[in-house]
């Protein structure tokens, strides 16, 4: 699994989010809260199905996560990566907005190269 700026806790209750949100000009908590209400359907926001931060994912496939300290999802993503450091490759970049690797900007080029390299390496035919 490769995740770019994942939302791993739709409760958005981490107090560190507020300071980062001021820098993130792509996404805000009001939009994510609305998406969370739609996405959760009948599940609690704390359900691991909705908010993976609350689950135990140590026994599933390894994952690679790309995040940035300028992305409001970063505080929770960082916690998730720490919680699952044995099975998570975590790349944290400084001060870029939400999903920055997807933009055609030089700052995202390093992340895109890593993603492409991983896809080529992991998906070779047997």
Task: Kindly list the domain boundaries of the chain, sorted by start residue.
Answer: 2-122
pLDDT at 106: 82
Residue 88 has pLDDT above 90, yes or no: yes
Q: What's the rounded Cα separation, in Å, for the pair 7 and 21?
A: 13
pLDDT digits (tens, 9 = 90+) for 49-64: 999 999 998 888 889 9
- What is the model's pLDDT at position 122? 67
Would you state the structure tokens that stand for residue 61, as one six-digit string? 């496939």
Fold of 2-122: Rossmann fold (3.40.50)
Of the listed ranges 60-69, 99-108, 115-124, the one predicted with least confidence: 115-124
Please say whether the beta carbons of 20 and 71 come within 8 A. yes
pLDDT at 125 over 60: no
* pLDDT the model gives residue 107: 81
Q: What is the distance between the alpha carbons of residues 29 and 15, in angstroms, rounded to a whole number?
A: 12
Q: Are 66 and 3 in contact (CB under 8 A)?
A: yes
| CA–CA distance, 56 with 104 (Å, rounded to integer) | 35
């Amino acid at each position: 699994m490769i995740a770019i700026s994942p939302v791993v806790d739709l409760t958005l209750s981490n107090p560190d989010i507020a300071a980062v949100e001021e820098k993130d000009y792509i996404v805000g908590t009001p939009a994510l809260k609305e998406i969370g209400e739609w996405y959760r359907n009948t599940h609690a926001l704390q359900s691991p199905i909705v908010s993976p931060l609350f689950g135990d994912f140590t026994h599933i496939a390894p994952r690679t996560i790309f995040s940035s300290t300028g992305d409001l999802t970063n505080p929770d993503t960082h916690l998730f990566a720490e919680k699952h450091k044995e099975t998570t490759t975590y790349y944290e970049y400084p001060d870029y907005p939400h999903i920055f690797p997807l933009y055609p900007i030089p700052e995202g080029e390093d992340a895109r190269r890593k993603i492409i390299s991983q896809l080529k390496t992991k998906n070779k035919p047997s």
